[in-house]
Amino acid sequence: MLKALRHWVLDDDDSGETPDPSVVPAERRDSEMLSPHDQRLSVRHDMCGHRGVIRSRRTMAFIHLKDLSCLGACGITDLPVAVGAMVFLTLQKGRWHAAEVRWVRNVMVGLRFYRPLDPDGVEKFHANHLSSKAAAALDHQWKLAGL
> pTM of whole model > 0.75?
no
DSSP states of the chain as a string? -HHHHHHHHHT---S-----TTTS-GGG--TTSS-GGGG-SS--EE-TT-EEEEEETTEEEEEEEEEE-SSEEEEEE-S---TT-EEEEEEETTEEEEEEEEEEETTEEEEEESSPPPHHHHHHHHHHHHHHHHHHHHHHHHHHHH-
Q: What is the pLDDT of residue 135?
A: 74
Q: What is the pLDDT of residue 3?
A: 59
Question: Taking residues 42-47, what's their average pLDDT?
Answer: 70
Q: What is the pLDDT of residue 11?
A: 54
Q: What is the pLDDT of residue 30?
A: 47
Question: Taking residues 58-73, what's their average pLDDT?
Answer: 90
Grade residue 28 by pLDDT with cuts at 50, 70 and 90.
very low
Spatial separation of the C-alpha atoms in residues 44 and 29, rounded to whole Å: 19
Question: Taking residues 85-98, what's their average pLDDT?
Answer: 87
Grade residue 61 by pLDDT with cuts at 50, 70 and 90.
very high
Mean pLDDT for the chain?
75
Whether 29 has a pLDDT exceeding 50, the answer reads no
